[in-house]
Structure 1
Amino acid sequence: MAGVEMYPYKARLPAPIYWIYRAIRTAGVALCFAGFWSGSIVLGWLWLPILELWPGPRVDKMRRSLRSLQRGFRLFHLVMRVLRLYHRTSPVKTLRPGGAPADSPAVLVANHPTLCDTTSIVSLFPNVVAVARTGFANNPLLARLIRVCGFIPIGIHMLQECEERLRMGFDVLIFPEGTRSPIGGLHPFHRGAFELAARAKVPVVLLKLTCVPPALSKPLPIWKVADRMAVLTIEPLDTIHPVDSELPSRAMCRVIEQRYRDLLGYAPGDLA
């Protein structure tokens, strides 16, 4: 079924025309990600150092840098949408379901179906920083950009840095699987996001991400995009208040993981 949904034109178009079409889409993907990396270098090593010279406290400098990054992500997604490769959308304009105050920080928890989930969420919603994988945080091309914009590298001081960002008023985005989800399943959740929310006494906002057709997922090479534009939908589900819960963070993690599996139709422990 996934093959039919991803490549419907293969059966409809003559082979030469179809493979030309595929080559054009592959070239579009290469163009987008070349632009992403070159733009990240320009932003991190040329523009943001200039922006940091502007006077103000650290949190103001971080917000200015994050706004610049957000505009860059918006441009990245605009190009992907124009090329009919990938589009992100959300039915809401604020990530505060269930009546949570819009001006209070929160820990954002989401499943992780695509490579562009972080850029999608950061580009759509203000004041969101994310926990960055070690490979990105230690990359010499991206390390400065990640640090200046307030993103938090995975490490022994991660929870302390996340608490600091929450005190500054940022939302902190964490994917509890720790990596992209497999197609048709979820990896086991880690409890760090729930431990953070309990320690910082902030709510957890649950986000459901769905991508149709599948694209930029863990088992798929970047260039192997579907014949049609992939659409990522970002949907806030609920707001959980760990302070009001009697569950410890580990038990809450298991309950929330099962809730995601039920919503997405995945069996317990299913990694297929």
Structure 2
Amino acid sequence: MRTIRSIWAWFAICTLIVIWVPIMEVVNLLDRDPAKYRTGRWFRRLGSVMTRVNPVWRVRVSGYRPSDPRLPYMVVGNHQSAADIPVFSRLPWDMKWIGKQSLFKLPLLGRMMHLSRDIPVDRSSRMSRARVLGEASKRLKLRSSVMIMPEGTRTPDGSVGAFNEGAFRLAIKLGVPILPVAVEGTFDALPKDDWRFGDRQEIKLHVFEPIPVEGLGAADAHALQERVRRMIIARVAEWRGVDPAEVDGAPPVVEEA
């Protein structure tokens, strides 16, 4: 039954992608905004629709909702599976995604990511990572939020791993608030290394209140990223009904004698 449901879901998703590409091309031609906000918003709508046609997903969104969708934030969240991307698209505003370079090479989907002005990153290249922060800075200055998953990759076991500081340093440098987001349920909804969707799954997405960065300097980036990480861990632990230590996937810090 799981296989049959998965075949149906993938058929529906692929059909949507084929339909969406020409729509995106037209929207892009009419979109005069340098940030391509409207184009990006149409792409996120595709992700949102994907979550609704999947017969085994039920997505619940809670928390903060910006009054102005063009107020830029550095949006950061935990990364459980490839399903995070359409699930985060349920949020009712556009965010320029920082995603691995290979996604941009996919037929149709990669084209839509380029049209939306999402940002590719080659994780194996230090120069690429530096360029990504520059591109993110451009998007933020155009009043478009940027979405990044500071773990850098999907969790191998459902825990929340260590965060990279790059996004937090950039937010401090530009004076852009951090908008933390926690997700739970996608790890089982679309397991890694399996094309089939999991069993019926309730997926939870919570948006925290923005964290202002005024008065902070580069030296505060580590404390800021750890604060955000602890917030996300606490929320995931609450959803699971476990101690936060069971959700913390970062290696323990060994103090020197």
Q: State which of 191, 196, 220 in structure 2 corresponds to 1:248.
A: 220
Matches of 1:117 and 1:53, distance apart in 2:
28
Q: State the shift of 1:259 in Å.
A: 4.3
Q: TM-score, normalised by structure 2?
A: 0.78
User: Does 2:126 align with 1:153?
Assistant: no
Q: Name the structure 2 match of 1:49.
A: 25
- Asked if the contact 1:213/1:230 (under 8 Å) is kept, the reply is no
Structure 1 window deviating more from structure 2 (255-264 vs 85-94): it is 255-264
User: Does 2:190 align with 1:216?
Assistant: yes
Instruction: Render the CA deviation track for 1:49-100: whole Å, top value 9, x for unaligned.
Output: 23333363433xx2232232233223212211xx2x112221246158xxxx
Structure 1 residues 78 and 173, CA gap change in structure 2 (3 angstroms): same
Q: Look up the equivalent residue of 2:30 and give its one-letter code.
A: W
Instruction: Render the CA deviation track for 1:31-66: whole Å, top value 9, x for unaligned.
Output: 32343344334433x33223333363433xx22322
SS in structure 1 at match of 2:189: coil
Q: State the shift of 1:153 in Å.
A: 1.1
Q: Look up the equivalent residue of 1:203 and give its one-letter code.
A: P
Matches of 1:126 and 1:245, distance apart in 2:
27
Q: Name the structure 2 match of 1:9.
A: none
Q: Name the structure 1 match of 2:108.
A: 141
Structure 1 residues 178 and 34, CA gap change in structure 2 (3 angstroms): farther
SS in structure 1 at match of 2:90: helix
Structure 1 residues 167 and 145, CA gap change in structure 2 (3 angstroms): same
Structure 2 gaps of 5+ residues are 122-127, 238-243, 253-257
Between structure 1 and structure 2, the one with the greater Rg is 1
Matches of 2:195 and 2:210, distance apart in 1:
33
User: Does 2:97 align with 1:130?
Assistant: yes
- Asked if the contact 2:84/2:186 (under 8 Å) is kept, the reply is no
Q: CA RMSD in A?
A: 2.8
Q: TM-score, normalised by structure 1?
A: 0.74
SS in structure 1 at match of 2:159: coil
Matches of 1:55 and 1:225, distance apart in 2:
38
User: Does 2:33 align with 1:66?
Assistant: no
- 5 Å-filtered alignment, 1:1-272, equals 22=1, 25-44=2-21, 46-54=22-30, 56-59=32-35, 62-80=36-54, 83=55, 85-92=56-63, 94=65, 104-154=71-121, 155=128, 156-211=130-185, 214-218=188-192, 221-223=194-196, 225-226=198-199, 229-245=200-216, 247-263=219-235, 264=237, 265=244, 266-267=247-248, 269=250
Structure 1 residues 94 and 238, CA gap change in structure 2 (3 angstroms): closer
* Count of equivalent residues: 235
Percent identity reads 19
Q: Name the structure 1 match of 2:240.
A: none
